[in-house]
Structure 1
């Protein structure tokens, strides 16, 4: 056959024809292999989430988003997969998370997206491994009952700063943050083979202002840094249009009013409840633990789903405000002028603070089961809890001894925390500031103005006055012994959490933000200010100086003071709760990890201690107690959290 072809067309032409056929075959083989190879780049058939028409579509198929909020920064990484598996078992197909800017850029230009609870990429990949979609809400402002709404404290170093506006320095910081963050998240978009299907631009801006230019700038910054998935905004019932962005709504009750407002605003787009508030949060000193009754919750969820809307449970699992990251409210919409949020962020959510399915979880699961086609996976069991032996705090050290391990700022008047000369010149973000000066023993009054948020005033190390929340200004009458020419005045100020939701102008600096007067006059004293942030690095430094620790019992059982004790474990650690019965107010630190604040005024009475923070062998507990503590000083480890009646404040 070949010989006849040679005679008819010529040998050279036949070779060229075979060569062309081979090239075409190879090309189609490569294309076919790429389409079938799951390890190659995503197929062009993968489409972004679309919000055109009455319902969301994904890859050309309709999608009802059934989502739950879990904040990676409120859950220890060892439990991310457990919480996500329980989310999926309730029938949800998506997880939503905010991004807390202030944990990722503690110092301007230095980013951490990989360490511990900062590993947002690891959290997103954990969701992907369970075939969950992901919605990311990067802010830059997030509210979230989180310190300063997630905005870094160093933004407040400049007293002219205007947050959440087109202020040039603020915008420059946002641009830098988005550029770093989105290098992590853009490759995890669904169009790139990842699970992220949507991003939110800013957060509840309609409750703050009406600067459309600013909101559109934030959305454009996301796009400029590679975001190709759906971008949306969310607001309460006062939902407002921000350009062409998809609008969504946040609420707890009044389904008809809120869904109706959203439908009128954008009649030809899908309905999305980005925050269905499945519970609520608590403030210190508030008399009632906030819950949303199960019957009411199930009724409202049924109404939302019957409206054809998508839903995100805020929160599905609240977790914990570890360390000093709790936020506060400014009082204009709450009972108290300034109200800091408690350490627990249980939120009365379907999944408890410790990750246990609740009765609310079981009832909501039965409702959601009716709206999904496939059977729900089994619910993973609750994590084991143990009550360990009590921990005796067998040694102590006074604050005056540990202050020497911090960099001191010297000034002629007290400076706010954010303006102290620490952390590479960007100020102190969290914790306590100890202001120390020498005053004459003839002084009769000391006036303190602008305390943010609570202070213990001491003379020669002895507490004489507590300036409580919302006092802010106080005049102390002194009766000093004249045997010495001068005495030491020390003011220990606690930053109880920056406001996370408020109206402009918004500028919640901490420490002493005003002045200190002596006998009614402001004088240029020489102030030495020590930043006690109780970071893991600082606690390690204090523990290493064994020579400063003394054996208990101490003085008269009162603070401010640091106490230390140990717990020996011979078995694999399990979850537990730290009971602070008999203690007054302070902080609990375990193996260098700051669990958060306790306060006997309530309503929170215990602190959640996840098992992964403990270890076999010796576990070190450090407690900062500001006031009174039991004798002997010990703490109990119990299996259940406790909420208690709010007490009258003694200090």
Structure 2
């Protein structure tokens, strides 16, 4: 077996429990010298970041990458600088950021690069606080987002082949890159900006559906003016299939073993090692306990990697929140939708507070790399606001006549296909299918409900069709009725964020629904995407006074008013007694709640509140609670 130059090969067991081959040559020199390489101090720029032998060099000086991932789109813009300052103060020199296509182009040729999606401002803020930037522009980024950050309107093409050189995909990608790349090109290292490296796609080795695709993405970046070190990132088994010539392969700490390093050496020779995805945890999912790794093992891993001159990226340093419907899903033994919190066990909590591990790593990095200690930004103040009482409600059935004309179809169609949103279909939320039946029997989904359908007969709840239940009994009609209205309210709980089934990730009713083995026909379909515009201006003034009735069942919208004094503070909404639904603050979608846990509170950042009266609306699917409570601490569930 060949060895890395000047190093001996050995075996070390990291906290993942997997044997890895490492390079045992003693500790990292304390005079490594990368501490002064900050964007503000490098004035003359020629070489940029390079892989030179077994080290990274930046402008000719050795450079150890100590990076952390922050998703700007999961953090309120008003807190971007706070999170970046905390990253820098902990001893990190680089921020890794991913760019979600689906948020920047939610409709074809309609691009959003302002407010919380102003990535140029985020990149410039990183530079101002002394951080370099590694950028992951996609087009696919994973990141536990709906469809891995790809826009759902791509799936209107029945032949779509995502993440391939299929023309329908590359054409859309090219239009998007034409808008995106000019916004980041001027922020590259040689142009005086902080971007020192860029990732080509994301973990493509695990997908590997088109051998020409990665090269296509690389060329798309280069021909638009990208001129920084290019990288790929893959887990152990997928390293070869995700590799590109003249592009640096980096690693994800998953399924790594001795063979991984042998493969890495065979495909690119003597190279520095960057653990691009060193993860402290996994995202939490509805219905399972929280999952966080032992922080002591986390420190052991990092200490070991730095001793071996590995560069490392903490994924996530700070997770943030899956505001709205942005969260995706995982597929293990079952379908697992991601919760609203994206706390992820990072060194900062979901709301940006310091964890005990933050201080441990700050002490370690500043001592190990001989960095001066930086004054830490103060954490945002938090408050438990006074509980609210619901004042009004609207039943979904009362709202339906006030919605836009339904889409009519002989057969069920998926959420992506109704002629709504200027022809872009529906991306998120709920969709209501209604048809007429003339008798009862057995309603069967045959796995065509994606992901969770509530079944109603003449507005009366009967049962659930989802990934685990495929049948609901429909009562026989009363003798005096000619027909009955069957309604199926389907919730998109998040498209898969990864895996080879992305092309199948259409939502709503994805095929026929059968009553007594006969397919149902003649549907009218109502889109309930619950966009900001709808929540702010679309709900008509048909609210009814909410006198709490224990027998009342959803689905319905519930209204309360929250008074805040001059300086709003961060808080956490606690929904004891409520069942399942979504919270809107001043028309903005805060995220999902569900009493099955593990998450018990929703983070409400102060910038979402305004002095004076704030409107709080809950869309509750089943049974509402008596009040809306608040806490000054997050409650994210029991740790497994």
Relative to the length of structure 1, the TM-score reads: 0.88
Q: Residue 382 in 1 paired to residue 384 in 2? A: no
Q: Give yes or no for contact 1:407–1:531 (8 Å, CA) kept in 2.
A: no
For residue 547 of structure 1, report the CA deviation from its aligned partner.
Answer: 2.8
2: CA distance between counterparts of 1:626 and 1:212? 45
Q: Give yes or no for contact 1:291–1:348 (8 Å, CA) kept in 2.
A: yes
Question: For the structure 1 residues 253 and 167, does the alpha-carbon distance in structure 2 shift closer, same or farther, using more than 3 Å as the test?
Answer: closer
2: CA distance between counterparts of 1:517 and 1:49? 60
Match among 463, 466, 486 for residue 465 of structure 1: 463
Q: Give yes or no for contact 1:249–1:258 (8 Å, CA) kept in 2.
A: no
2: CA distance between counterparts of 1:539 and 1:558? 21
For residue 178 of structure 1, report the CA deviation from its aligned partner.
Answer: 1.1
For residue 346 of structure 1, report the CA deviation from its aligned partner.
Answer: 0.3
Aligned ranges 1:386-535 → 2 under 5 Å: 386-403=383-400, 404-440=402-438, 442-449=439-446, 450-471=448-469, 473-504=470-501, 506-525=503-522, 527-535=523-531
Spell out, residue by residue over 1:37-94, the C-alpha distance to the aligned partner (whole angstroms, 9 max, x if none): xxxxx97644321123221111111111111000011001000000000000100011
Q: Residue 558 in 1 paired to residue 558 in 2? A: no
Question: For the structure 1 residues 231 and 254, does the alpha-carbon distance in structure 2 shift closer, same or farther, using more than 3 Å as the test?
Answer: closer
Map of 1:366 onto structure 2: 363
Aligned ranges 1:22-33 → 2 under 5 Å: none
Map of 1:231 onto structure 2: 230
Map of 1:112 onto structure 2: 112
Aligned to 1:414, the other structure's residue is in SS state coil
Q: Give yes or no for contact 1:252–1:278 (8 Å, CA) kept in 2.
A: no
Q: Which moved more, 1:272-281 or 1:77-86?
A: 272-281
* Unmatched segments (≥5 aa) in structure 2: 1-41
Q: Residue 644 in 1 paired to residue 637 in 2? A: yes
* Unmatched segments (≥5 aa) in structure 1: 1-41
2: CA distance between counterparts of 1:174 and 1:460? 45
Q: Give yes or no for contact 1:249–1:262 (8 Å, CA) kept in 2.
A: no
Pick the structure with greater CA Rg.
1
Q: Give yes or no for contact 1:255–1:300 (8 Å, CA) kept in 2.
A: no
2: CA distance between counterparts of 1:371 and 1:54? 20
Map of 1:24 onto structure 2: none
Spell out, residue by residue over 1:302-356, the C-alpha distance to the aligned partner (whole angstroms, 9 max, x if none): 111111011110000000111111111122xxxx321111111100111110101
Question: For the structure 1 residues 453 and 210, does the alpha-carbon distance in structure 2 shift closer, same or farther, using more than 3 Å as the test?
Answer: closer
Map of 1:77 onto structure 2: 77
Spell out, residue by residue over 1:378-415, the C-alpha distance to the aligned partner (whole angstroms, 9 max, x if none): 22122111000001111100112333324521111111
Q: Give yes or no for contact 1:98–1:137 (8 Å, CA) kept in 2.
A: yes
Aligned to 1:485, the other structure's residue is in SS state coil
Relative to the length of structure 2, the TM-score reads: 0.89
Larger fraction in helix: 1
Map of 1:579 onto structure 2: 574
Q: Give yes or no for contact 1:338–1:470 (8 Å, CA) kept in 2.
A: no
1: CA distance between counterparts of 2:474 and 2:261? 58
Map of 2:310 onto structure 1: 309
Map of 2:349 onto structure 1: 352
Q: Give yes or no for contact 1:396–1:552 (8 Å, CA) kept in 2.
A: no
Q: Give yes or no for contact 1:407–1:422 (8 Å, CA) kept in 2.
A: no
2: CA distance between counterparts of 1:268 and 1:340? 41
2: CA distance between counterparts of 1:410 and 1:179? 36
Q: Which moved more, 1:263-272 or 1:373-382?
A: 263-272
Q: Residue 183 in 1 paired to residue 178 in 2? A: no
Aligned ranges 1:5-44 → 2 under 5 Å: none
Spell out, residue by residue over 1:410-464, the C-alpha distance to the aligned partner (whole angstroms, 9 max, x if none): 1111110001110111210000001112222x33343334000001111121111
Instruction: Give the total of aligned pairs.
Output: 594
Aligned to 2:162, the other structure's residue is in SS state coil
Q: Give yes or no for contact 2:160–2:503 (8 Å, CA) kept in 1.
A: no
For residue 211 of structure 1, report the CA deviation from its aligned partner.
Answer: 3.4
